[in-house]
Amino acid sequence: MAYKKILTIQDISCVGQCSLTVALPILSACGMETCILPSAVLSTHTGGFSGFTFRDLTDDMPAIQAHWQKENIKFKAIYTGYLGSIKQIGYVKNILETMGTEDAVRIVDPAMADNGKLYSIFDMDYVEAMKPLCGTADILVPNITEAAFLTGCEYRESYDEAYVTELCEKLCALGAKTVVMTGVGYREGKTGVAVYSDGKMSHYEHDKIGKGAHGTGDIYASAFTGALMNDKSIFEAARIAADYTVKCIINTQGDADHWYGAKFETALRDLMDMLA
Give the residue-averaged pLDDT of 45-49.
Answer: 86
Q: Residues 100, 4, 199, CA angle at the centre, nearest 5°?
A: 60
pLDDT at position 36: 98
Give the CATH superfamily of 5-268.
Ribokinase (3.40.1190.20)
216-257 pLDDT per residue, tens: 999 999 999 999 999 999 999 999 999 999 999 999 998 999
Delimit the domains of the chain by residue range: 5-268
In tens, the pLDDT along 136-159 reads 999 999 999 999 999 999 999 999
pLDDT band at 84 (very low <50, low <70, confident <90, very high): confident
Q: Tell me: the pLDDT tens digits for 189-213?
A: 899 999 999 999 999 999 898 777 8
Q: What pLDDT, in 10s, does the model give residues 58-79?
A: 999 999 999 999 999 999 999 9
CB 148 within 8 A of CB 167: yes
Cβ neighbors of 100 (< 8 A, separation 6 or more) are 74, 75, 76, 77, 78, 106
Going by the DSSP 8-state scheme, the letter that residue 155 receives in this structure is P
| C-alpha pair distances (Å), 138 with each of 112, 151, 164 | 19, 17, 19
As a whole number of angstroms, the distance between CA 33 and CA 27 comes to 8
- pLDDT at residue 186 tops 80: yes
What span, in angstroms and rounded, lies between the C-alpha atoms of 53 and 11? 12
Mean pLDDT of the chain: 95
CA distance 65 to 276: 34
pLDDT category at 1 given cuts 50, 70, 90 is confident
Q: Is the pLDDT of residue 46 over 80?
A: yes
